[in-house]
Structure 1
Amino acid sequence: MTQWGKRADMVVHESDPFNAEPPPGALAGAVLTGLDSFYSRNHGPIPDLNPETWELVVDGLVDTPLNLSLGQLRDRFVEQTLTATMQCAGNLRAGFLKVRDIPGEDPWGPGATSTAEWTGVRLADVLSAAGLQPAAAHIAFEAPDVSQLATPPQAYGGSIPAAKAMAGETLLAWAMNGEPLTALHGAPLRVVVPGWIGARSIKWVQRITARREPSDNYFQATAYRLLPPQADPTHAGPGVGLSLGAIALNSAILSPDDQAHVQAGPLEIAGYALAGEDRGVARVDVSIDGGDRWVQAELVSQPSAWAWCQWRTTVLAPPGDVEIIARAWDTTAAMQPESAAQLWNPKGYVNNSWPRIHIHASARIAS
């Protein structure tokens, strides 16, 4: 184990704030991601909050503002458990770096995606108890972790549309995989917004505000926005670009490792696919000949509508250097775009192009 109880082979992009992902193989074949492998994305120091004194404030466009302790949340509302995948908006940014540099951004691979069983209460139930008013179109969240990325520095925050907040899948969670949240993952309480980028699942949430407009927090209004290729992100102010919300259809090859040396012949290939929002994964194709021929992978498991689908297939790897390509289709019949070059943007978000890895297959020696 290393920092924050993570496995020793985590790929650490930054130590302070702590940003790390597991190696791809650690995610292969696992429906739930262990706490030691779950990726971590942070924008400032990790708060250490006392659950005995912590309090959640619910205010804004509500009839009855609330101040709730963790115990009151547990006592007043029905406990819910949901399996959902969380994915960083910068997942697979490393693929963009092969197209063009992205200064100042972490080179996330496919491991900035993890799945957990979340336990807590429905955000909709809490908002209903507060008397959410019809004028409330957005629900904003505020946390205590102060980030130096904003000028001047400010606490992390963001918002989601009221319709998503009132959907039954959006939770205020105090546990993951049957264990109390750790400080790293948002204790004592965090928001879980299934099907949306991880940036909207605010950790250490301490205030929920019903508003007419989206949050004006830096991480909603300026960061986590898809900019056009020619834009300069250092001069892009609030409202520039497209605000990121629902996850785009994507997939990853988790095994074998990129640049692995294997034996020619039968080779198992495994990965995940994730459709985002409430779309399902309908099909995953794999090619080892540059896309001339494709085999359809077996979809192994998708534990809920809000979770990834693990997939696998076996191919006959020829001797020599082999490129393995995958592509996913969702239940709307949409397919991943082919090229990262077509998607490149100056913040490195939403790389959902076909995943590609390269291996070297050695000929088998006759006995």
Structure 2
Amino acid sequence: MQRVLIRSIFKLSNQHATKPYLLQQHQQEARINSISCYYCVYSSKRGQQENDGWGKSKRHFISLLTLGIGLGGIGTAYILAKEVSALEKTATNNDTHENWHKERRTDLPTYKQEQITKHDTLEKRVWVTYGVGVYDITEFIPKHPGSDKIMLGAGSAIDPFWHIYQQHNNKEILTLLESYRIGNLDKADEVSTEDMGSPWGNEPKRHPLLKPASERPFNAEPPLSLLAENFLTPNEFFYVRNHLPVPVIDAEGYELDIEIEESDTTRSFTLEEIKKLPKVTVTAAVMCGGNRRSEMTEVKPVKGLSWSGGAVGNAKWSGAKLRDILLAMGVESDEKRHVIFEGCDLDPTSHPYGASIPLSKAMDERGDVILAYEMNGETINRDHGFPLRAIVPGTVGARNVKWLSRIIISDSESSSHWQQNDYKGFSPSTDWDTVDFTKSPAIQAMPVTSAICSPSQGEKVQIVNGCINVKGYAWSGGGRRIVRVDLTSDGGETWHVAELEQEDLPDGRHYGWSLWSAKLPVPSGCKQVEIWSKAVDSAYNTQPESFKYTWNLRGVLSNAYHRVKVEIE
């Protein structure tokens, strides 16, 4: 019988097929960022109809399991379990969770790949393999917003996808996956990823002070105490948000394609051509849509990276105005079309990270959307989008696409997972059984927020003249200026206004953050106080008091009062 091996065939998708700059790497690691995994053809005949065994399972689950098939935006898989069986009794004698999918279970039947391949639709039930395990994931798929991506692995192996999304290899996720197990893969059909190399072999070096929220893909934030020290966040301390492996790009061969769908017009720009265009500099804060998610999780668990308040940074970005380029190509502004950004970072199916913004934002003279090649006066580094990234001031970080490969003027929004099925807000009563991502618009401008950077949670502080020193940051999306930051140490009985450090720019173009500081009076005789901060922007929007009423299943738009408890020495 034929032994089936998943081989790593490094192939660029159609829109990246003329991008040789992506291939200037060492042979072993060259095309990792454009992997497509192709499967060997099975020559044997289909086996007879088998019993799927699902009815024998008594494990019940709600919500979702993200298998990581092209879903770098969500990153980690979750299921909220109603009941998890004692897997140690039934799964394996090996108590190391990393080996469960490598061990054969004597209590379960063995299936040939030709049997598994037949289970590639919901009607036939969806089976996948991982290692030597066979899993029926049918019940979970209708509840998951990325089911279109998950179906790419239906009837085959998820090994190559998890080779990319290694954040799934933890005990919680592997335990939950094992609960879906219905059998073992025939030895003749075992899958291997040994010839795939590591997609993470070319990751850039990072500053050790960055605290990882996930290692692969790398996502990290600086200690909150550092953020209020500099109006412009040092590049090495700027938070990192990656959805996929960081691509290696040859700047000399780099080209950016800009397409206008309705006229079939396409123009390619080298990096040097873009640098010859008028250079503009914009101060803009970039904030992850999930910043401060860890605080919302305290109300009820949410799905996503557990960011504290450090998934934000403020920088001076320099580059060419996108508006100037589009005008030169004959594009006229309107309220209907969209600008789609695509990156050079590709998932295992060769689909790029993508996002879009309204064309009206890109064409607005005051919108200040730029194609940036410098960050704080230095060449932008790899983690932050070298050689070119979109900076969309006042807009959620997810739309500031890095490693730009293609820009499309389109009648439709980006069809990418991260535009359609992620980075959207919902009612606190919406759960993973009822969510409909088509009913909510993609986040663009972020709401007003603030965070206390110093003192930190649990820190011992000294009172000087009846006050403690407090400092932090505040920001509002859409270019709205911060007009006030209010602080209290007595549960809101009295409020004190902080001093602001901010640029002197007109409202509507106030894209950078504001740093604030105050000498905050504290009640006498207290051994512990809780500091609250709330910011107010130029539209007099202010932060909500509690996360309880703004909770959402993805943990985005987390902007309730920031609260820090400190000990008084």
Whether the TM-score (by the shorter chain) exceeds 0.5 is: yes
Report which structure shows greater RCO (CA 8 Å, sep ≥6). 1
- Report the alpha carbon displacement of residue 177 of structure 1 after superposing the two structures with TM: 0.6
Task: Map 1:223-234; keep pairs closer than 5 Å.
Answer: 223-233=422-432
**After superposition, where does 1:26-45 map in structure 2 within 5 Å?**
26-45=226-245
SS of residue paired to 1:216: coil
- Which deviates further from its counterpart, 120-129 or 311-320? 311-320
Kept in 1: contact 2:333–2:360 (CA 8 A): no
Residue 404 of structure 2: SS of its match in structure 1?
A: coil
**Amino acid paired to 1:284:** V
Aligned to 2:60: none
Q: Report the 3-state secondary structure (helix = DSSP H, G, I; strand = E; otherwise coil) of the residue aligned with 1:158.
A: strand
Contact 2:424 2:437 in 1 (8 A): no
What is residue 170 of structure 1 aligned with on the other side? 369
Match of 1:293 in 2: 494
Kept in 2, the 8 Å contact 1:226–1:241? The answer is yes
Deviations 1:135-194 (A, max 9, x none): 76111011121247xxx6732001000011112411000010111111111011000000
Residue in 1 aligned with 2:478? 277
Partner deviation per Cα, 1:294-314 (whole Å, 9 max, x = no partner): 011111223651100111000
What is the CA deviation profile of residues 169-222 of structure 1, one whole-angstrom value per residue up to 9, with x for unaligned ones? 110000101111111110110000000000000000110000112111111111
**RMSD after superposition:** 1.9
- Cα distance in 2 between the residues matched to 1:52 and 1:346: 43
1:205 corresponds to: 404
Residue 351 (structure 1) aligned to one of 552, 558, 567: 558
The letter for the 2-side match of 1:340 is F
Match in the other structure for 2:420: 221
Decide whether aligned partners of structure 1 residues 171 and 259 sit closer, same or farther in structure 2, where only a CA change above 3 A counts: same
1:331 aligns with 2:530: no
The alignment status of 1:55 with 2:232, answered yes or no, reads no
What corresponds to 1:308 in structure 2? 513
Give the superposition deviation at 1:40: 0.6
- Structure 2 counterpart of 1:12, from 201, 204, 212: 212
Report the Cα distance in structure 2 between the residues aligned to 1:206 and 1:238, rounded to whole angstroms: 27
Moved more, 342-351 or 226-235: 226-235
Structure 2 match to 1:157: 354
Task: Give unpaired runs (5+ residues) of structure 1.
Answer: 363-367
Give, as a single letter, the amino acid of the residue that structure 1 aligns with 2:310: G
Gap change, CA 1:38 and 1:268, over 3 Å in 2 = same
The equivalences for 1:108-257 within 5 A come to 108-133=307-332, 137-147=337-347, 154-168=351-365, 169-233=368-432, 236=435, 239-257=438-456
The amino acid that maps onto 1:270 is K
State the distance in 1 between where 2:422 and 2:261 align.
25
Which has more strand, going by share of residues? Answer: 1
- The answer for unaligned runs of 5 or more in structure 2 is 1-202
The answer to whether the 8 A contact 2:469-2:519 is kept is: yes
For the residue of structure 2 that corresponds to 1:25, the secondary structure is helix
Q: State which of 79, 87, 107 in structure 1 corresponds to 2:287.
A: 87
- What per-residue deviation string (whole Å, max 9, x for no partner) do you get for residues 208-265 of structure 1? 0001121111111111111333434488565242310001111110111111011234
SS at match of 1:225: coil
Distance 1:4 1:271 in 2: 29
Q: Larger Rg: 1 or 2?
A: 2
Q: 2:333·2:359 contact (CA, 8 Å) conserved in 1? A: no
8 Å CA contact 1:94–1:107 kept in 2: the answer is yes
Q: What is the CA–CA distance in structure 1 between the aligned matches of 2:434 and 2:296, rounded to whole Å?
A: 21
Normalising by structure 2, report the TM-score: 0.60
Q: Is the 8 A contact 2:333 2:363 kept in 1?
A: no
Q: Which amino acid aligns with 1:158?
A: A
Partner AA of 1:33 in structure 2 = T
Q: Give the C-alpha shift of residue 9 in structure 1.
A: 2.5
Aligned-partner Cα distance in 2 for 1:189–1:134: 24
What's 1:365 paired with?
none
User: Match of 2:355, as an amino acid?
Assistant: G
2:316 and 2:377 in contact (8 A); partners too: yes
Q: Which moved more, 1:195-204 or 1:307-316?
A: 307-316
Tell me, in whole angstroms, the C-alpha distance in 2 between the residues paired with 1:158 and 1:267.
43
Instruction: Give, in whole Å, the separation in 2 of the partners of 1:259 and 1:147.
Output: 41
Amino acid at match of 1:88: C
What is the CA deviation profile of residues 119-140 of structure 1, one whole-angstrom value per residue up to 9, with x for unaligned ones?
A: 1000101111221156761110
Tell me which amino acid in the other structure corresponds to 2:462. Q
1:320 corresponds to which residue? 527
Give the Cα–Cα distance (whole angstroms) in 2 for the partners of residues 173 and 153 of structure 1: 25
CA distance, structure 2, for counterparts of residue 233 and residue 191 of structure 1: 32
1:320-352 C-alpha deviation (Å, 9 max, x unpaired): 111000111111122111111111000000011
Identity of aligned residues (%): 34
Retained in 2: the 8 A contact 1:5–1:36?
Answer: no
Q: C-alpha offsets along residues 261-289 of structure 1, whole Å, 9 cap, x if unaligned?
A: 11234311001110211211111110000
> In structure 1, what residue type is equivalent to 2:472?
G
* 1:17-63 deviations in Å (ceiling 9; x for gaps): 01000011111131100011100111110011111111000112365
C-alpha distance in structure 2 between counterparts of 1:40 and 1:62, whole Å: 36
TM-score of the aligned structures, taking structure 1 as reference length = 0.92
- SS of residue matched to 2:241: coil
Tell me: CA distance 1:330–1:357, structure 2 relative to 1, closer, same or farther (3 Å): same
Q: Report the more deviating stretch, 247-256 or 222-231.
A: 222-231
Match of 1:361 in 2: 568
Aligned length: 355
Name the CA distance, whole Å, in 2 between partners of 1:41 and 1:92.
14
